[in-house]
Amino acid sequence: MKSELLLGRPQAMSLTRLFGGTGNLGGAAAGLTGVLAGAVMLGARQRVSGVESVEGSGAGDAGRERSATGGRGAELEGPLIKQGAEAKIYKGFYLGKSTLVKERFKKSYRHVELDEHLTKERIRAETRSIMKCKVAGISTPALYLVDMGRRCIYMEYIENSITVKDYIASLTDENSEETSMKKKLEHIAQEIGKTLGKMHANNIIHGDLTTSNMLLVDKGDVKVLVMIDFGLSHGDASTMNKGVDLYVLERAILSTHANVESLFPAIIKFYIKTNKDAEEVMKKLEEVRARGRKRTMVG
């Protein structure tokens, strides 16, 4: 297959170009078929493994308008769900499906070319991490469309889900038996620990591990963990960065779920079972903790 997957558009970005070559997919590019949802043909556009990338050649409204009409089925119109420092999250539609649209808006305080460069690099890093997770068997939203012209990622809207943060809050608020609550928390810890161990074993650094960036999806009698918001993610084999990743989660849990002290140690227990480099990562986690305590004492 030619590297230029989207025909008839000189600046259109192929899957290979988006991820900087098939080598960055860890040799698993062939395994992506069927892993991501909805491979379809849109006229002369060819989408592979549920991902299409479109880059408008112009900037501003004209580029966005051309990209929007060229997307054929991608609609940004919809309610704003959330806005962070880097992006806005909308609920939109893609080929008639309810879709989550993440738009990285322009930063007026940055130089235009620098802003364009940083935005493209972060979109590439985010989509690359999501695809690596898919290949590794880690649940994430399916990618539908990567639209560089509009600075948007169209992805699966996860139905029947609740954030781990809200789920834990509901467990601690309700008058359930302590034994029942511990059992449910143990299941959550197991899912999180195994998932993070698998991510780090595949050199995927999330960068923003909090219980707000994890969803629990009802699958009958089982709740499946789905990782979301890879906006700060990147690929890295460094055990130090993996330790920092875990430290961020530990601090988030201590500040958000102070009444569930056993949660993080339980996560680590299952993390160690999943990641063969866990011993070295634990050493780095201790180093990062020591730095944090020193900063707290010094002020």
Which residues are part of the catalytic machinery?
A: 208
Give the C-alpha distances (Å, rounded to integers) separating 54 from 17, 18, 30, 131, 153: 12, 10, 22, 17, 10
C-alpha distance from residue 160 to each of 60, 163, 190, 218, 294 (Å): 36, 11, 21, 6, 43
Task: List % helix, strand, coil for the chain (3-state, nearest 5).
Answer: 45, 20, 35
Residue 292 phi/psi, 5° resolution? -65, -40
Q: How far is CA 44 from CA 5, 6, 8, in A?
A: 9, 7, 7
21-24 contact pairs (CB < 8 A, 24+): 24/128, 24/235
Q: What are phi and psi of 53, to 5 degrees?
A: -120, 130
Give dist(CA 194, CA 138) in Å, integer: 10
Q: How many Cβ atoms are within 10 Å of 171's Cβ, its own excluded? A: 17
Q: Are strands 143-147 and 53-54 parallel, antiparallel or unpaired?
A: parallel
